[in-house]
Structure 1
Amino acid sequence: MLDIAEELNRWVGQGRDFAVATVVAVTGSAPRQPGAALAVDAAGTAVGSVSGGCVEGAVYDLCTQALQDGETVLERFGYSDDDAFAVGLTCGGIIDILVTPVRAGTPQREVFEAALAAAARGEAAAVARIAEGPAELKGSAVLVRGEAGDDGFLGGFGGHPELDRMVAEEARALLDAGKTGVLEVGADGRLCGEPLKVLVESSVPPPRMIVFGAIDFASALVRIGKFLGYHVTLCDARPVFATKQRFPEADEIVVDWPHRYLERTGTDGRTVLCVLTHDAKFDVPLLRLALRLPVAYVGAMGSRKTHEDRNRRLREVGVTELELARLRSPIGLDLGARSPEETALSIAAEIVANRRGGSGAALTGAHIPIHPDASTTVARRIGSVA
């Protein structure tokens, strides 16, 4: 649901009722991951996707029905000779879809409204919903926010304060990690009478991409970074080159020495750093710092000769072999790229492969999964004696 928060927040502002279908779990090959959502309003307007087209028609009908009867349902779609033609899930996977009506006057409406508003503003938020459990709890939800000092939560699960508190704590842990997943709660039934599963959706601000070096290759990389959903910063020490006119798609442009900017800006485990300056006076102090930060990716442009010379200089200033092993240089995958756009694509491909654990190999003739198995998101057991 939170992956389409901007559109749903507009619906809320317009007072629309809607039903939202959310992927809870995936087994085997499937095109969308847990948290992917499709919503349908009372007029039949649809937004989002849960399967890349495979089962959209059937899920649309479930949303329409949920709007009419107000019932929250969990539906499983899997491949077989019969249902392949019925709903089109021919990729061999199994997906569980939770369909929840969001109608005016219902207790969960306030929780969903607050969650959608926070996510639409780019704030960190997680909403937990019952996926499997007692009928009286279906549709109930809890919201936790990522604001500093906010240890409370909004909503609840029908008069079970211990359950509310435990789910809120686990939801906050998933939010801190920026993950969406399923909690298995109360396997011994002592919290609410029977075991249940809770879907926790997290929405966090976009990850950062910082591009160092205001060159033509950087312009193409800024564009593709925005396309991939990054908050993109362009940094260069030369004010004549680092301008909004040259990089209109950048979220921010910083005129400063790269290493000085990196020292004072915030990074996290999702940040990617792309060093395109290929000038030792910029590269060495910048990479010396970058390779010691807990970021997701550090890549540097340059020929193999430049790479060897840069590594020598980095060793001279105390960079260890373990730190050097983190450096992706020459930057990008081997696509035979020549133009700035092709080079940006090769860099982006390496970033995606690094983020998702891909090999970068061609899928044709390869015996590797197209879609990683997302079943590992079902996992955390709380409130259990086990």
Structure 2
Amino acid sequence: MFNIADTLRQWCREARPFALATVIDVRGSAPKPPGTALAVDEDGNVVGNVSGGCVEAAVYDLCQRLLTVGGFPARARFGYSDDDGFAVGLTCGGEIEVLVQRVDPCAEPHLGAALEDIAEGRATAVARVVEGPEHFLGRTLSVPGDEGPYHGTLDGGPADEAVAARARALLRAGRTARVEVGGDADSCPQPLTVLVHAHASRPRLLIFGAVDFAAALSRAGRFLGYHVTVCDARPVFATRARFPDADEVVTDWPHRYLQRTEVDARTAICTLTHDTRFDLPLLQLALTLPVGYVGAMGSRRTHEDRVRRLRRTAMPEERLTRLRSPIGLDLGALTPEETAISIVAEIIAHTHDATGLPLSQRTGPIHRAVHRTTDGTPEKEPRPWIPAGAFHAED
């Protein structure tokens, strides 16, 4: 839903009813993840997509019918049929399930308020019932990220509290996911499946070392939606003019800045300095923090020397294994821009627990299902990791 948040916010401001089609389940190589949405207003205007073009016309017709005829929210599944190549379906071979419902902004003012929060960059979640008794389908809660009260209702009782707690956990993880609630006397007699759309604050990319590689990496990081910080202890290099794509440029010793700034499991830390005065105290701290990625630039010789020095500080081996160095995937990168792509490619692969191999060398679905724990964090299966590193002149 948040892929069309700007338009939905405007329709809510205008109290304009609309039909909302949301991807609620994905199997195989489906092109769009759960939470992606398409909406149609009463004038036939359409925004968004649910499949990249394969089934949009059929979903549009479902939305039009619901707006014209009315009725309860309905689920529809689209897949590929070898028996009928002309049937509406996904040519990629996957399957998606879509929930189509009519939304009246006047009846659900909390939805418009949640969309306003998103426009202002505030963390918020919208939880929507996607499976359960017919009269529950499509009901929503909006849950702010500041621990404030939630709005809306599912059952007006224990299910609301249970879903709000799960939504806050997903917000902390920055994840959109399905959760199961109910089916017991302590929460809700009716088992419900709820899709939680989580709009968290932007994940952070902390770049240490005000070098040319940092300028290119800050551009790539911003393009991917990171809040980018460039930090260096040398004020002559750490300037806004040299890093116009960074959200902030900080003049401070790297380890000292890292001590006082906020990080979480989505944070990526990259040190590009090649200088042990900066690298060692920074990495000693970074490898103890609950961040998602820690990478260090340098040749294999530089990396081996760096690891020896870290071992002398009595750093446990399990922490050292978290260090990605030489940084990046093996793309044969030479220029700062190519190296930036290799670094963000490794960050993406590490975030999604992927191999980094060419898809042509892999078998099975392109888009793997990610199973999640009860708090919304990924339940990762062990996968082979391909040793990788961007090429640098000193290798």
TM-score by length of 2: 0.87
Please name the residue that 1:34 is paired with: 34
- Within the candidate set 241, 248, 263, 1:245 is matched to 241
Specify the alignment match of 2:67 in structure 1: 67
1:248-287 matched pairs, under 5 angstroms:
248-287=244-283
Change (3 A) 1:170 1:235: same
> 1:190 and 1:280 mapped to 2: Cα distance?
56
Cα distance, 1:269 vs structure 2: 0.5
In structure 2, the CA distance between the partners of 1:179 and 1:315, relative to structure 1 (3 Å rule), is same
Over the aligned positions, Cα root-mean-square deviation in angstroms equals 2.4
CA distance in 1 between counterparts of 2:25 and 2:180 reads 13
Deviations 1:5-55 (CA, angstroms, capped at 9, x unpaired):
234223333444332221111122212211122223334333333222222
Other-structure match for 1:324? 320
Distance in 2 of aligned mates of 1:83 and 1:103: 37
Q: How does 1:85-100 map to 2 (within 5 A)?
A: 85-100=86-101
Aligned AA (1:307) = H
Task: State the Cα deviation string for residues 270-310 of structure 1 (Å, max 9, x = none).
Answer: 10001111111111111111111110000011111211222
What is the aligned partner in structure 2 of residue 297 from structure 1?
293
1:173-322 pair list within 5 angstroms: 173-187=169-183, 194-322=190-318
Deviation per CA, 1:192-220, whole angstroms, max 9, x where unpaired? 77543222221111110011111111111
The count of corresponding residues between Structure 1 and Structure 2 is 374
Asked whether the equivalents of residues 181 and 188 of structure 2 are also in contact (C-alpha less than 8 Å), the reply is no
Change in CA separation of 1:280 and 1:166 when aligned onto 2, cut-off 3 Å: closer
Measured in 2, the distance between the counterparts of 1:88 and 1:178 equals 31
Provide the residue aligned with 2:118 in structure 1: 119
The residue identity in structure 2 corresponding to 1:122 is G
For the residues of structure 2 that align with 1:7 and 1:236, how far apart are their CA atoms? 40
Q: CA deviation at 1:161?
A: 2.0
Secondary structure at the residue paired with 2:152? strand
Shift of 1:189: 9.3
Equivalent position SS for 2:333: coil
Counterpart of 2:30, as a letter, is A
The reply on whether 1:350 has 2:346 as its aligned counterpart is: yes
Change (3 A) 1:223 1:70: farther
* Preserved contact between residue 158 and residue 187 of structure 2 (Cα < 8 Å): yes
- Does residue 18 of structure 1 match 2:14? no
3-state secondary structure, aligned to 1:87: coil
- Structure 1 residues 309-330: Cα deviation after superposition (integer angstroms, max 9, x where no partner): 2222222233232221111001
Residue 372 (structure 1) aligned to one of 368, 371, 379: 368
Distance 1:313 1:191 in 2: 53
Secondary structure of the corresponding residue to residue 298 of structure 2: coil
Shift of 1:367: 1.9
Q: Relative to 1, partners in 2 of residues 1:83 and 1:10: Cα closer, same or farther, differing over 3 Å?
A: farther
> For residue 386 of structure 2, what is the aligned residue in structure 1?
none
- SS of the counterpart of 2:354? coil
Given residue 48 of structure 1, which amino acid in structure 2 is its aligned partner? G
Greater relative contact order structure (CA < 8 Å, 6+ sep): 1
CA distance in 2, matches of 1:224, 1:277: 18
Q: Which runs of 5+ in 1 are unaligned?
A: 381-386
Output the CA distance in 2 between the equivalents of 1:94 and 1:377.
20
In 2 relative to 1, CA 235–192 (structure 1 residues): closer, same or farther, beyond 3 Å? closer
Q: Which amino acid aligns with 1:18?
A: F
Contact preservation (8 Å) 2:171, 2:199: yes
Gaps of 5+ in 2: 376-395
Structure 1 CA distance, aligned partners of 2:373 and 2:277? Answer: 48
